[in-house]
Amino acid sequence: MRLTCVFIMILTLGSPLRADDAQAAKDATIVETLLRLKTIDVNASAKLKAAVLRHLELRKGTAKYVELVTKLKLRGVEEELLRVAIEDPATTQGVGAATLLLEREHVGLILERIDGKDEAVATKVVAALGYVGNKQAIEVLKPLVTDQTRSRPVRTAVANALGRSRLGERFLMTIVEQEKLPADLNFTVANVLYASTDETIRAEIAKYLKLPETANSKPLPPITELAKRKGDVAHGSELFKMKATCSKCHKVRGEGKEVGPDLSEIGSKLSREAMFVSILDPSAGISHNYETYQVILDSGNIVSGLKISETDDEITIRDPESIDKTFAKDGVEEIIKSTISLMPADLQKTMSAEDLVDVVEFLGTLKKPGT
Ligand code: HEC
């Protein structure tokens, strides 16, 4: 008697799961059949489509998902494809999803995100197109690089994305030759083209753009090459505090001034390449809350710095020397948010390439406790 009770309990508990399993097995069979019978249009039958969608639901975000959508020519999942492309641009599924959107002429959907207010999303979509790197992707990217209505971080992402394919590199080279490249992208594009595997592109770019110079007036190698070098942590730490003047603006574990962000855990936040970019081209991507403000005073004087506080009556600005200055609003003519970082763009000039690698090596050791 008791045994039957337990048996019934197991049956009832187990049954919903088994029903799901049965459904999943059925759906899998349908999908397999559809893959074999290539003549059937999934989109024409609501029942078949429902089975395929249930099957896909369990595989969201994977390369298998994108593969099935491609092979079955399934329509109506474009938003999910875009989500995958944005979330994992540098993966098989991300590239597959973005490629499919381009092939199916959903360029509008892609541009909608690039044009949207969310800069982080826009730069990720752009990155995805760069990893796709085919003619269709390049065509979408081309007009964006010179479009000054777009923010600098988006245009920088576009230049980097174009630099991932030969077609894109050639296009960047043409823009440089025609002198159409916006000056704020000089560093990004020089870095991309000096690192090209095409010798003629490297020779050609050298006629137009230089990489930043170090202490001995020697140009730096491109960042991809710098990032491969190994540095001396102790020397980097010393440079950070002394010659390179980083401590004038950055705190590390309680030491240093607070003009820029605290760098005590920067090694957990940025890749080596991103650290080189932060130092050599600070305005390419300005950290949130660290935008530079220019306060134009009635006297004609202009004071630049970070905005520490602002009320109806006054504004407080922290200048590059870490001095806070407060101005009464009735003596202020205009307050402008600048697109230029407060961090100087030529800090490498007092260092050698080796010094710079040492500083980045040191930054790389600054990790969140326990990692
Ligand atoms: C005059 C002040 C100043 C000096 C000197 C300076 N920085 Fe900065 N730094 C800033 C400011 C302000 C920011 C934030 C704005 C931005 O992202 O450009 C910043 C941002 C950074 C970032 C990015 C931080 C993040 O969270 O993304 C890194 C890395 C960095 N600096 C490293 C350095 C190093 C290394 C040096 C020395 C070689 C240095 N800085 C010298 C002011 C300075």
Residues of the domain holding 188: 59-206
Ligand 1 atom nearest to CA at 246: 37
| pLDDT value of position 40 | 87
Instruction: With respect to residue 48, please indicate whether it lies within any of the assigned structural domains.
Output: no
Give me ligand 1 centre to Cα 17, in Å.
55
> Is residue 50 in some structural domain?
no
Same structural domain, 168 and 229: no
Q: Quick check: 240 pLDDT over 70?
A: yes
- Ligand 1 pocket check for 277: Cβ under 6 Å: no
Is the same domain home to 88 and 136? yes
Residue 260 within a domain: yes
Same domain, 234 and 281: yes
pLDDT-derived band at 13, boundaries 50, 70, 90: low
216 in a domain, yes or no? no
Confidence of residue 114 (pLDDT cuts 50, 70, 90): very high
Position 21 scores a pLDDT of: 87
279 C-beta closer than 6 A to ligand 1: yes
Q: Do 326 and 278 share a structural domain?
A: no
Is 3 a residue whose pLDDT tops 70? Answer: no
pLDDT at 2: 56
The residue ranking higher by pLDDT, 151 or 19, is 151
Mean of pLDDT over the chain:
92
Per-residue confidence at 85, pLDDT binned at 50, 70, 90?
Answer: very high
Q: Please indicate, yes or no, if residue 69 is contained in any of the structural domains.
A: yes
Q: Are residues 176 and 303 in the same domain?
A: no
Pocket test for ligand 1, best of 119, 156, 249, 281 (most atoms within 8 A of CB): 249
Domain for residue 173, yes or no? yes
Q: Could you tell me if 327 and 351 lie in one domain?
A: no
Kindly give the distance from the C-alpha atom of residue 318 to the centroid of ligand 1, in angstroms, as a whole number. Answer: 14
What's the average model confidence in pLDDT over 42-50? 93
CATH number of the domain within which 354 lies: 1.10.760.10
Whether residues 298 and 258 fall in one domain? no
**Residue of higher predicted confidence among 193 and 216:** 193
Indicate whether residue 348 lines ligand 1 (CB < 6 A).
Answer: no
Structural domains in the chain (count): 3
**Three-state SS string across the chain, please?**
CHHHHHHHHHHHHHHHHHHHHHHHHHHHHHHHHHHHCCCCCHHHCHHHHHHHHHHHHCCCCCHHHHHHHHHCCCCCCHHHHHHHHHHCCCCHHHHHHHHHHHHCCCHHHHHHHHHCCCHHHHHHHHHHHHHHCCHHHHHHHHHHCCCCCCCHHHHHHHHHHHCCCHHHHHHHHHHHHCCCCCHHHHHHHHHHHHCCCCHHHHHHHHCCCCCCECCCCCECCCHHHHCCCCCCHHHHHHHHHCCCCHHHCCCECCECCCCCCCCCCHHHHCCHHHHHHHHHCHHHCCCCCCCEEEEEECCCCEEEEEEEEECCCEEEEECCCCCEEEEEHHHEEEEEECCCCCCCCCHHHHCCHHHHHHHHHHHHCCCCCCC
Q: Is residue 26 part of a domain?
A: no
Of all atoms in ligand 1, which is nearest to the CA of residue 347? 38
One domain for residues 124 and 83: yes
Residues 294-337 pLDDT 10s:
999 998 899 999 999 999 999 999 998 899 999 999 999 999 99
CATH code at position 331: 2.30.30.100
Residues 360 and 265 in one domain: yes
> In angstroms, what is the span from residue 88 Cα to ligand 1's centroid?
28
pLDDT at 17: 60
Q: Are residues 241 and 132 in the same domain?
A: no
State whether 92 and 147 are in the same domain: yes
191 in a domain, yes or no?
yes
Per-residue pLDDT, 4: 52
Same domain, 166 and 63: yes
